Structure 1
Amino acid sequence: MTRIVVIDNHGQFTHLEHRALRDLGVDTELIDNDVDPSEVDADGIVLSGGPDMDRAGRSAEYLDGDVPVLGICLGMQLIAEELGGTTGSGEYGGYADVTVEILDDDDPLIGSLAPETRVWASHADEVKTLPDGFTHTGTSDVCGVEAMSDTDRDLYGVQWHPEVIHTEQGEEVFENFVDICE
């Protein structure tokens, strides 16, 4: 059975990420972001959202593993920052229900959502420039980089929250990530 560990960056929806994976029949565990990555046995990692990059604990160390990683909101921003991209304040700010245009229908994480999907996302902070090796896979009229992927390293990020009911195809994002991890 596929095992995916959710790293808790203290976001308000993190428990829903864990539940979404559990509901898909995945062996999953929610662990605090100060756990040493060498102590974690998993086929995949989800870096949860959270309120502040300064409270991300050891999350960046999980990027050095040899398993796929999905960053959600803050998790995606952390991936970008750690690997040479940039983040900054979003022009829109807070949460919004937005339409995301899928830019790469071959992307293993979100390509199946093409041509577009409705999502619930926070835009207080967002990725401004992609790290080397990443493909820009999703955009909206309120955020330039709604999603990114580096399929060579199996690193993926979405600005939105696939775990909340307001995101139309959120379960499909998790199903696709499970497929990547298998």
Structure 2
Amino acid sequence: MTRIVVVDNHGQFTHLEGRALRDLGVDTDIVDNDTPPSKIDADGIVLSGGPDMDRIGRSVDYLDLGVPVLGICLGMQLVAAELGGEVGSGDYGGYADVTVEILDETDPLVGSLAPETRVWASHADEVKAVPEGFVRTADSDVCPTEAMSDTERDLYGVQWHPEVAHTEEGEAVFENFIDICERAD
């Protein structure tokens, strides 16, 4: 059975990420972001959202475990910041219902959502420039990087929260990530 660990970056929706994966038949645990990487045994990692970069614990260490990683909101931002991208304050600010345009229909994480989808996202902070090796795979009228992918390293991120009911095709994002993890195994 596929095993995906959700790393808790103290976000308000982290428990919903674990539940969404369990509901899709995945063996999953939620672990604190101070968990030593050597203690994590998983086919994939979800880096949850959270309040700020000062509380990400050891999250960047999990990028070196050699398994696919999905960063959600703050999780995507910490991936970008760690790997040479740029993160800054968003012009829009807080949570909103946003129409996201999918830029790459072949992307394994969000391509199936094309041509567009409605999502629930926070734009207090956002990825301003993706790191080398990544491509922007979705944007919106409030954020130029709603999703990003590095398929060579199996690193992915979404600005929005696929785990909440307000996101129309959130379950599909998790299903696609499970497929990525199973192919990488």
Bin of the TM-score, shorter chain as denominator length: over 0.9
Give distance in 1, aligned partners of 2:108 and 2:68: 12
Alignment of 1:159-178 (within 5 A): 159-178=159-178
Task: Give the structure 1 partner of residue 110 of structure 2.
Answer: 110
Cα deviation digits, residues 36-95 of structure 1 (max 9, x gap): 011110000000000010000000000111100000000000000000000000000000
Alignment of 1:126-145 (within 5 A): 126-145=126-145
Does 1:149 find its partner at 2:138? no
Task: Give the structure 1 partner of residue 12 of structure 2.
Answer: 12
Give distance in 2, aligned partners of 1:47 and 1:33: 9
Offset at residue 17 of structure 1 (A): 0.2
Offset at residue 181 of structure 1 (A): 0.3
Task: Give the structure 2 partner of residue 68 of structure 1.
Answer: 68
Q: TM-score, normalised by structure 2?
A: 0.98
Give distance in 1, aligned partners of 2:72 and 2:92: 18
Give distance in 1, aligned partners of 2:93 and 2:170: 22
Task: Give the structure 1 partner of residue 29 of structure 2.
Answer: 29
What letter is aligned with 2:150?
Answer: D
| DSSP-derived class of the 1:89 partner | strand
Give distance in 2, aligned partners of 1:39 and 1:15: 20
| DSSP-derived class of the 2:50 partner | coil
Q: How many corresponding residue pairs? A: 182
Task: Give the structure 1 partner of residue 99 of structure 2.
Answer: 99
Task: Give the structure 2 partner of residue 179 of structure 1.
Answer: 179
Give structure 2 stretches of 5+ with no counterpart.
none
| DSSP-derived class of the 1:93 partner | strand
| DSSP-derived class of the 2:164 partner | coil
Give distance in 2, aligned partners of 1:130 and 1:121: 18
Cα deviation digits, residues 75-121 of structure 1 (max 9, x gap): 00000000000000000000000000000000000000000000000
Give distance in 1, aligned partners of 2:123 and 2:55: 18
Offset at residue 24 of structure 1 (A): 0.3
Give structure 1 stretches of 5+ with no counterpart.
none
Runs ≥4 in structure 1, deviation > 2 angstroms? none
Give distance in 1, aligned partners of 2:138 and 2:53: 22
| DSSP-derived class of the 2:54 partner | helix
What letter is aligned with 1:54?
Answer: D
| DSSP-derived class of the 2:163 partner | coil
Give distance in 2, aligned partners of 1:77 and 1:66: 19
| DSSP-derived class of the 1:71 partner | strand
CA RMSD of aligned residues (A): 0.3
Task: Give the structure 2 partner of residue 59 of structure 1.
Answer: 59
Q: TM-score, normalised by structure 1?
A: 1.00
Give distance in 2, aligned partners of 1:171 and 1:31: 21
